Amino acid sequence: MRRITLIIIALMLAGLRLSAQGQLAEQLPGTLFAYPMAPDTCSTLEARCNYIITHFWDNYDISKPIKDLETFENTFRDFVDFFRYGHRNVVMSTVRDFVNKAQSNTSNLQRVGEVAERALYGTEAEYWSDEVYVAFAKALASSKKLPKDVRDHYGAQLARINAVQVGATLDFEFIDTDGVKRRLSEFPAKSYLLLFVDDSTDSTIGRLRLSTDVALNALLDSGNSTLVCLSMNKYTSEWATVAAGYANNWIVGCNADLLKQLDLRAFPCCYVLDEQRTIVNKSLSVEGLMSAVNPNYLFD
C-alpha cells in the first residue's frame, strides 16, 4: 500500500521518467515488470488509475507458468491497490479479462486463486471486495480441471459470501448462557450490532473496548440498538460461566455452526443490521464498529 501511495503521488506530478512504451522507466523492487503510466490526456486521478488498471498486465503472459509466486503476489497486490481509485466498471471488466486468461493454465489458475484469496479476502488482505473476489472464486469453484477439494473450498466461500450480502436479511439460532436455544428474530431492535468472537482467538481486548465505550453504551441503553455477542463454539457450562460475565446490556450466545453459514473472515468480526435485520455493513473490525456507531471515534 505504501508503494502504491508513492505511485499515486507520482501520477499527479509532472516530469515523470517513462519508457517509450509509456511505462515507468524503472521497475519497482520485487515486482514482475514496470507498471504502465497514463498519458497526459487522462486528467483526473480516476482516469489515470483506470488506464493503469486496464493496461496493467499488457506485457505479462498469464498463460505461462508462474515461476516466482512471491514476486507475482507483490505485483498482484499492487494491481489490487489501484482499485481504490478506479471506476467499478473498469475494475470488474479488467478482473474478468484477467481471470479468463488465467483459466488457460490450470496450475496458474490455482495459484492466482491463492494469491487473490490472500489479497482480497483473507486476514492478510488490505483491500476487501466481495464483488472482485467473487469473480476469482467463481472461476475456481467451477473449474473441473482443479481438484475437488480446491473447488469445494472456493464453493463454500461463495456460499457464505452470497448468504450475507449487504441488503440480505439475517436470522439464525444460538444458545444463550442459560442453555436455551434462541433466534435472533426473537429480539426486536431498532438496529443490531453483531459481535462474532472465536475462542481460538483472544477477543478480550475487543470486548473490553466495546463494553467500556461511552457512545456505544449510550446507544444500547437508549434502546436505539442491541448488541449481540456470539461465540463460535459449542455450548459448555465453562463457556456459559465466562460469557455470563460479559457486559450486562449485551445479548450473549454461542453457535459453532455459524462458521459454515456466515462470512466471518477475522475475529472479532462485526456486522451491523437495521430494524428488519437487513445487513447494512459486515466484516467490520471492532474499531470499524465503534467508528460506525460514533463517527467522531477515529478523531477523539
Residue 296 has pLDDT above 70, yes or no: no
Residue 15 has pLDDT above 70, yes or no: no
Q: Judge whether 237 and 255 are in contact, CB under 8 Å.
A: no
> One-letter amino acid identity for 282?
K
Enter the C-alpha cell of residue 224: 436505539
Backbone angle region of 289, left / alpha / beta, with phi > 0 → left and psi within -120 to 50 → alpha: alpha
Segment 61-66 mean pLDDT: 90
Residue 190 has pLDDT above 90, yes or no: yes
DSSP state, 121? T
Give SS3 for 68.
coil
Express as a percent the part of the chain with pLDDT over 70: 89
Is the omega angle on the peptide bond into residue 39 within 30 degrees of 0, that is, cis? no
Residue 295 has pLDDT above 90, yes or no: no
Write out the DSSP string of 190-254: SEEEEEEE-TTS--HHHHHHHHH-HHHHHHHHTTS-EEEEEESS---HHHHHHHTTS-TTEEEEE
Write out the DSSP string of 163-185: HT-TT-B---EEEETTS-EEEGG
Most confident of 183-192, 258-267, 283-292: 183-192
As a dihedral over the C-alpha atoms of residue 283, residue 174, residue 273, residue 250, rounded to 10 degrees, the angle is -100
Give the pLDDT confidence score for residue 5 in this predicted structure.
57
Residue 1 has pLDDT above 60, yes or no: no
Helix axes 45-55, 2-11, angle to 10 degrees: 120
Give SS3 for 271.
strand
Give residues with Cβ within 8 angstroms of 77, minimum separation 6.
119, 126
Residue 166 has pLDDT above 60, yes or no: yes
Band (pLDDT 50/70/90 cuts) for residue 297 is very low
Please provide the average confidence, as pLDDT, over all residues in the chain: 87
Segment 175-196 mean pLDDT: 96
Enter the C-alpha cell of residue 289: 464498529
Calpha distance 228→183 (Å, rounded) = 11
Express as a percent the part of the chain with pLDDT over 90: 64
Enter the C-alpha cell of residue 73: 503476489
Task: Identify the residue whose cell numbers are 436470522.
Answer: 171
> One-letter amino acid identity for 117?
E
Task: Identify the residue whose cell numbers are 493503469.
Answer: 52
Residue 141 has pLDDT above 90, yes or no: yes
Which sequence spans correspond to the domains of the chain?
2-163, 173-299
- pLDDT tens for each residue of 82-140: 999 999 999 999 999 999 999 999 999 999 999 999 999 988 888 888 999 999 999 99
Segment 235-262 mean pLDDT: 94
Residue 4 has pLDDT above 60, yes or no: no
Residue 34 has pLDDT above 70, yes or no: yes
> Beta strands 226-231 and 250-254: pairing type?
parallel
CA-based nearest residue to 228, from 210, 201, 205: 210
Band (pLDDT 50/70/90 cuts) for residue 16 is very low
- pLDDT tens for each residue of 201-240: 778 888 888 999 888 999 999 988 999 999 999 999 999 9
Fold observed for domain 173-299? Glutaredoxin (3.40.30)
